[in-house]
C-alpha cells in the first residue's frame, strides 16, 4: 500500500464509455480511488452499489469517485449499466496502475495462494497527494466510512 503524504501515481485509463480519464484532470478536487478485484462478483457488486447509493453525498462535497479493476471496458460498461453506477470505472487490463498503487498482491482463498487485487481505497487530495489509504476494506461499509471521513 502506498504511504499517506506521498504523490499519487498519475494515470490515464479508459472508462466504461471507452473514454480516456486522467487523474491529473481532477487536480483541485478530492478523489476517492477504490480498487476492487472483479466486476459482478458479490463483494465487488455490494461495494459498487454502496458507492452508488451514497454518490450524491460525495458530489455534494465535490468529491470524485473512481473505481479501478483489471476487467475490460466492455465488462465495466455492462456492470455499470446493470447496477446503474453513476461514477467512473476504469479498466486496467495490463495491471500497470494496479501495480503502481501496490494493490496487486498475494492472496489466500480457500487455502489456495494466488496473485490478485486487494480491495483498497485511497483518498487523494486536491493537490494529488494521498491523504488516506485503507487496505482490505469491507465492501459493505467502506463507502460510508469514507464519506464520513470526508
Core vs surface per residue 20-39: b (16+ CB within 10 A) or e: ebebeebeeebbbbbbbbeb
Cα–Cα distance measured from residue 135 to residue 121, given in angstroms and rounded to the nearest whole number? 7
The partner residues of 64 in beta bridges, in order of sequence, read: 31
Cα–Cα distance measured from residue 127 to residue 7, given in angstroms and rounded to the nearest whole number? 8
Cα–Cα distance measured from residue 121 to residue 116, given in angstroms and rounded to the nearest whole number? 15
Residue 44 known to be catalytic? yes
Q: Which candidate in 8, 31, 44, 88 is catalytic? A: 44
Q: Determine the distance from the C-alpha atom of residue 12 to the mean position of all C-alpha atoms in its chain, rounded to a whole number.
A: 14
Q: Active-site residue numbers?
A: 44
Amino acid at each position: 500500500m502506498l504511504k499517506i503524504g506521498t504523490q499519487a501515481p498519475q494515470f490515464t485509463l479508459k472508462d466504461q464509455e471507452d473514454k480516456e480519464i486522467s487523474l491529473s484532470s481532477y487536480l483541485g478536487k478530492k478523489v476517492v480511488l477504490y480498487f476492487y478485484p472483479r466486476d459482478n462478483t458479490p463483494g465487488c457488486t455490494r461495494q459498487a452499489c454502496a458507492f452508488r447509493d451514497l454518490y450524491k453525498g460525495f458530489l455534494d462535497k465535490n468529491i470524485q469517485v473512481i473505481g479501478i479493476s483489471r476487467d475490460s471496458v466492455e465488462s465495466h460498461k455492462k456492470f455499470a449499466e446493470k447496477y446503474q453506477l453513476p461514477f467512473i470505472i476504469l479498466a486496467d487490463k495490463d495491471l500497470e496502475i494496479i501495480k503502481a498503487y501496490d494493490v496487486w498482491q498475494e492472496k489466500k482463498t480457500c487455502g489456495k495462494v494466488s496473485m490478485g487485487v486487494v480491495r483498497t481505497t485511497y483518498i487523494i487530495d486536491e493537490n494529488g497527494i494521498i491523504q488516506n489509504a485503507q487496505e482490505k476494506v469491507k465492501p459493505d461499509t467502506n463507502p460510508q466510512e469514507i464519506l464520513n471521513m470526508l
